[in-house]
Amino acid sequence: MAKSKSAYFCQSCGHETSKWMGQCPSCKQWNTLVEEVVEKASSRVPEWRSTAATPSKRTNKAAVIHEIVYTEEHRLETPDAEFNRVLGGGIVPGSLVLIGGEPGIGKSTLMLQLALSIPKIRTLYISGEESEQQIKMRAERLQQSSNANCFILTETSTQNIFKQIEVVAPNLIVIDSIQTLHSSQIESAPGSVSQVRECTAELLRFAKETNTPVFIVGHITKDGSIAGPKVLEHMVDTVLQFEGDRNHVYRILRAVKNRFGSASELGIYEMQGAGLREVSNPSEIMISQRDAPVSGVAISAMLEGMRPMMIEVQALVSNSAFGTPQRSSTGYDTKRLNMLLAVLEKRFGFRLSAQDVFLNIAGGLRVEDPAIDLAVVIAIISSQQDMPVKTSIAFAGEIGLSGEIRAVNRIEQRIAEAEKLGFDGIFISKFNTKGLDAKKYGIAIRPVATLEDIFRSLFG
Q: With contact defined as beta carbons under 8 Å apart, do 33 and 21 qualify?
A: yes
Q: In which element (H, E) is residue 375 found?
A: helix 373-385
Q: Residue 106 annotated as binding?
A: yes
**Which of 196, 415, 161 is closest to 308 using CA atoms?**
415
Residue 104 annotated as part of some ligand binding site = yes
Contact (Cβ atoms closer than 8 angstroms) between residue 236 and residue 204: yes
Sheet holding 425-429, edge to edge: 327-330, 355-361, 307-319, 297-304, 393-396, 425-429, 444-448
Q: Is 95 annotated as a binding residue?
A: no
Reduced to 3 states (helix: H, G, I; strand: E, B; else coil), residue 268 is strand
Give the separation between CA 235 and CA 150, rounded to whole angstroms.
27
Please report the DSSP string for 114-179 in residue order. Answer: HHHS-TTS-EEEEESSS-HHHHHHHHHHHT-TT-TTEEEEE--BHHHHHHHHHHH--SEEEEE-GG
Asked whether residue 108 is marked as a ligand-binding residue, the answer is yes
| 103 carries a ligand binding annotation | yes
Residue 385: φ, ψ to 5°: -85, -5
Q: What is the largest CA-CA distance in the chain?
A: 85
* DSSP assignments along 62-101, one per residue: ---GGG----PPPPB--S-HHHHHHHTSSBPTT-EEEEEE
Q: How many whole angstroms separate alpha carbon 437 and alpha carbon 450?
A: 22
Omega before residue 177 within 30° of 0, cis? yes
Question: b/e string for 26-41 if b means 16 or more Cβ within 10 A?
Answer: eeeeeebbeebebbee
Residues pairing with 51 in the sheet: none
Secondary element (H or E) of residue 411? helix 411-420
To 10 degrees, the CA torsion angle through 41, 189, 212, 244? -130
Q: How many CA atoms lie within 13 A of 397 on its CB side?
A: 30
Which distant-in-sequence residues (6+ apart) come within 8 Å of 117 by Cβ?
78, 79, 80, 144
403 labelled ligand-binding:
no
Annotated binding site for ATP: which residue ranges? Answer: 101-108
Annotated binding site: which residue ranges? Answer: 101-108
